[in-house]
Amino acid sequence: MSDTPNSRTSTDTPLSTNSKAGKTSLIHDSDSYSESYFDKLYSDNSDPWHYQTHWYEQRKRDMCLAVLPQATYKNAIELGCGNGVFSELLARRCQDLISIDGNNKAVQLAKQRLADATHVRVVQGIIPSILSTLRQALLQAYPSSNASLLDHSPAKQPPFDLIVISEILYYLSPNDIDTIIAWIRQNLAKGGTLLCCHWRYAIDGFAMTGERVHQRLQQAFGLVHSANDEESHIATFHHQSQTVDSDFLLDIWQNSPKSVAMQENLV
């Protein structure tokens, strides 16, 4: 994210001054994912958002890890892994981790970084479309991989006890965000955790912002159904915590009403 409080532009983007991480930003006239946009970002830079050098990024990662309500997770998935800096830290808390990114160079960098973490699988695919074919993508990228947790049947439990979505949703259209929300509802296991974290400022060329993204998530997961309000939704998840930083929003939902203290029988 950026050193200046008026841009993120795709986390960093070469070619315009108002960008995240104090870099320049590309102009992109769409609210949907653009492969060429990210290709340009990674064309001559292995860390376009300065994940490895900015205290801002390290601090944000540490805060994300600290608010996770469980010490460890069995099956986790990360949507938008970039070059794998956060994935490397998540891997220490997960028995199995699937990390996804749409950019080929980012995926290769993440694979290199996680080469020794045999329980992590890094897959290239455009979000949200890859979510409907994730099992096939895993088997194609890792032929000897066990993808049975993604087998769908009426009796099968949702596969993931941790879903991480960080700095990706504002690059997508509202319809794509709704698709991801529906996917989360179907794939977050009972007792599982959803972490969402996004930059608060406007991004050049994209209609969505972190503010709008988290408002949409709150509408999807946080409203209680009312017979007099046709637009309200059943609150399927418990809002475990919310961090409103000056620069980013961080929300945690659980598919369980139990807080951390309740889980450890402290209350």
- What pLDDT, on the 0 to 100 scale, is given for residue 36? 83
- What pLDDT, on the 0 to 100 scale, is given for residue 222? 75
Which class for 256: exposed (0-12), middle (13-18), buried (19 or more C-beta within 10 A)?
middle
- What pLDDT, on the 0 to 100 scale, is given for residue 155? 56
Residue by residue, what is the 3-state secondary structure of the chain? CCCCCCCCCCCCCCCCCCCHHHCCCCCCCCCCCCHHHHHHHHCCCCCCCCCCCCHHHHHHHHHHHHHCCCCCEEEEEEECCCCCHHHHHHHHHEEEEEEEECCHHHHHHHHHHCCCCCCEEEEECCCCHHHHHHHHHHHHHCCCCCCHHHCCCCCCCCCEEEEEEECCHHHCCHHHHHHHHHHHHHHEEEEEEEEEEEECCCCCCCCCCHHHHHHHHHHHHCCCCECCECCCCCCCCEEEEEEECCCEEEEEEECCCCCHHHHCCCC
- What pLDDT, on the 0 to 100 scale, is given for residue 149? 65
For residue range 38-53, what is the model confidence (pLDDT) as tens digits? 888 898 899 989 999 9
- What pLDDT, on the 0 to 100 scale, is given for residue 3? 37
Second CATH level (architecture) for the domain 54-263:
3-Layer(aba) Sandwich (3.40)
- What pLDDT, on the 0 to 100 scale, is given for residue 17? 26
pTM of the model as a whole: 0.84
- What pLDDT, on the 0 to 100 scale, is given for residue 94? 98
- What pLDDT, on the 0 to 100 scale, is given for residue 153? 57
Each residue's pLDDT expressed in tens, for the chain with a length of 267 residues:
333 333 454 333 332 323 343 333 443 444 456 788 888 889 889 998 999 999 999 999 999 999 999 999 999 999 999 999 999 999 999 999 999 999 999 999 999 999 999 999 999 999 999 999 999 999 999 988 776 666 655 556 789 999 999 999 999 999 999 999 999 999 999 999 999 999 999 988 889 999 999 999 999 997 544 445 554 445 579 999 999 999 999 999 999 999 999 999 999
